[in-house]
Amino acid sequence: MSGSTRDDASRPGTDFIRQIIDRDLEAGRHDTVVTRFPPEPNGFLHIGHAKSIVLNFGIASEHEGGRCHLRFDDTNPSTEDPRYVEAIQEDVRWLGYDWGEHLYFASDYFERLYGFAVELIEKGRAYVDSQSEEAIRENRGTVTVPGTPSPYRDRTVAENLDLFRRMRAGEFDDGEHVLRAKIDMASPNMIMRDPLLYRIRHIEHYRTGNDWCIYPLYDFAHCLEDAIEHITHSLCTLEFENNREIYDWLVENVTLDARPRQYEFARLNLDYTVMSKRKLLRLVKEEEVDSWDDPRMPTIAGLRRRGFTPASIRAFCEMIGVAKADSRVDMGKLEYAIRDDLNRQAPRVLCVLRPLRVTLTNWPVDAETGEPEVDWLEAPYFPRDVGLEGSRRIPFSGELFIDEADFEEAPPKGFRRLVPGEEVRLRYGYVIRCDEVVKDEDGRVVELRCSYDPETRGGDTPDGRKVKGTIHWVSAPHAAECTVRLYDRLFTVPDPDAAVAARGEDSDLRDFLNPESLEVVSGARVEPSVLEDPADRRYQFERVGYFWRDPVGDDGALTFNRIVTLRDSWAKVGARLAIASGAGSESPVGGDSRTTGPEGGDRAPSSAGEAGERPSVSPEVKARADALVEAFGLNEIDAEILARDPVVEAFFRDAVGASEASTVSPVSLANWIINDLPPVQGSRGLDQLPFGPGELAELVALVEIGTFSSRGGGEGLERMADRGGDPQAIVDQLDLAQVSDAGALRPIVEAAVEAHPDKVAAYRGGKSGLMGFFMGAVMRETGGKADPELTKELLGELLEGE
């Protein structure tokens, strides 16, 4: 049925705009929905425009027969350029939208718009004003003082028509005359005090050349363009709310066969950046950034070059929703959206940013060649909870690189990586022990001489000994050298414009630029498998972050851009972590595939911003953090986060107290409070949640004893945050109980194996990475509820059998 709404399952939500549209369709005001995205081609689009693109194209796609027009409002020739037209079209297409045959330009309507202006003059509703720009501004009055009518307001229709035609003919200089609407110089809405409709500009237009020397202003043009194109719902941001009155006045006072209506929604104001094309252009011109597509810029081109995906930006725009009041959006939400997307699709590979050489002194040498042997290890691309298959072979040799940050000669408390005389597990490889530290003449560590345990291939310890940490590595002779660009936030303060205003007249946006927004790391080493991959593949460098190759390369050099860190390190170490006060940062839900090192190992710091350079804290906070480390065995960063806010610390301590009778570790509770709680908490304080520390402790206990899976625990936490409730009862209500019975799980495992004989043969032929494929198949069949350890054990029995 024409104009009907598609299945609600495909709609992002029932925001007020969609409610208006639904009511209009139900009332028969329109047969379908026609929206438009009308950028001015005077710069590159930014993330704020993406919200409008997603809203306008998205709403149109939700209705049968709906369409969204792409229209360039090119009525100001002094600032517009064809390259912006091309860039905007590229951005819209990249985001996944297509306007089909509905590409329009305001300049195509210049003749019709001129005709509408003539009609207004003939009706006595517009006049040519010959005052100077300054006089017009002064005579407009103030909010409390009515405006003064122009001395030219009562010109006759004939005189106005003659002057307007001569304006078009080019007889007058710029600014000598303007065309104004004749409305009400005492209107409380100052926009309605005889607004300007046309001005003289002797500037060549990029499309019409010198055919015109008078150009319509935006308020005059865009509403009439909407009517020409039969737009049903003209969606604008809130700064145009006061302009709605002139919009309605114009469409009511000229002859049109359509009556569009304007609706306003809140614009996107994103923290740690600016959303003004004029200010972004200034950053480009003053070379504070490299270009419009600099990966630090909030432009769509910049985000694309940084490595963001179209799906992540669409998800972000849908996540923040459509509101009626302006507000600021935490940058963490945008970062969460890209992490969430990449977590489910990015292959995991190994890259060492700051290499430290490791020599295995007992590594075997080939008897014939005298060269060190090379052990090719099968490593899966994806963790088992992602459900994707794929693996690669990575070389392991007697000469390795690990990250400098993964070795400490005098380790701090809680350090779980490599130290002299102790062991660490190498991801996918072996357990090694540091036997000797080699330093240069300046005392800098340049090499570690280690021994490896040949019985620990794959990371297991047959004798059952505990190895606390797991770190990443690459084979020194095989790894590819690369440059890594670590991008961070462009500004040091959430609201740069407000910071400038607060500091006063002498302040400037440049005062708040982040001097560490780009760190270039040369001489990094990445595993050789990436050399065979498509250039546009995105990766998770394990324990480091998400990266992809810079599409603007330097003569084929291997350069990777950091898309986003593994977790919100800015939130984690910054001063904005007042969780209980309603900060509600969008940290990603914890889990081994998202935020932690492999097999529980530490995550390697990937920049100074993540490593030791944390913001300073008061002695009081430091003392409380030290007490948490001492009492509960937390690491220093987590303890500091909890100690920064007494409400958060009290919540943690109460949760620990409530769990004393169970086996829940304080470290687990801290991780849940820091990583899992903020996304479901939103803007509420901890005291506003419908559950308390005791319920959270019970939920975590259910996860740790295996009643919940980690994923089920996340779903349970969402339900608790929504309506409260007993965790055990939620397990029963949502059917989240983990399948831990071998008898119930075995038939599912057997079916997964029997359905893929080719994969079974490949696994038995050495493709051990396919274990992740079979784990994913079982998880999909059980809705993620299968006990991972039991599933792996059962799969091992079947896959190893003949």
Which residues are annotated as catalytic?
Answer: 40, 267, 277
In contact, 553 and 324? CB cutoff 8 Å: no
H/E/C letters for each residue in 324-362? CCCEEECHHHHHHHHHHHHHCCCCEECEECCEEEEEECC
Burial of 110 (0-12, 13-18, 19+ CB in 10 A): buried
CA distance 154 to 127: 8
CA distance 270 to 49: 12
3-state secondary structure at position 159: helix
List the end-to-end C-alpha distance of the chain, in Å, as a whole number.
Answer: 58
Closest CA to 139 of 181, 178, 194: 194
Element (H, E) at 6: none
Burial of 81 (0-12, 13-18, 19+ CB in 10 A): middle
C-alpha to C-alpha distances, 581 to 67, 72, 271, 514, 686, nearest whole angstrom = 43, 44, 18, 26, 8
Q: Kindly report the backbone phi and psi dihedral angles of residue 209, in degrees, each rounded to the nearest multiple of 5, phi listed first.
A: 65, -125
In contact, 698 and 668? CB cutoff 8 Å: no
Q: What is the chain's length?
A: 802
Burial of 667 (0-12, 13-18, 19+ CB in 10 A): middle
Token pair listed for 412:
């701090």
Element (H, E) at 210: none
| Alpha helices in 215-257, H assignment, sequence order | 218-228, 244-253
CA distance 167 to 151: 19
CA distance 44 to 88: 7
Token pair listed for 429:
């490889």
Do β-strands 545-549 and 559-565 pair in parallel, antiparallel, or remain unpaired?
A: antiparallel
Q: How far is CA 50 from the centre of its chain?
A: 12
Closest CA to 782 of 744, 755, 754: 744
Q: Kindly report the backbone phi and psi dihedral angles of residue 745, in degrees, each rounded to the nearest multiple of 5, phi listed first.
A: -85, -30
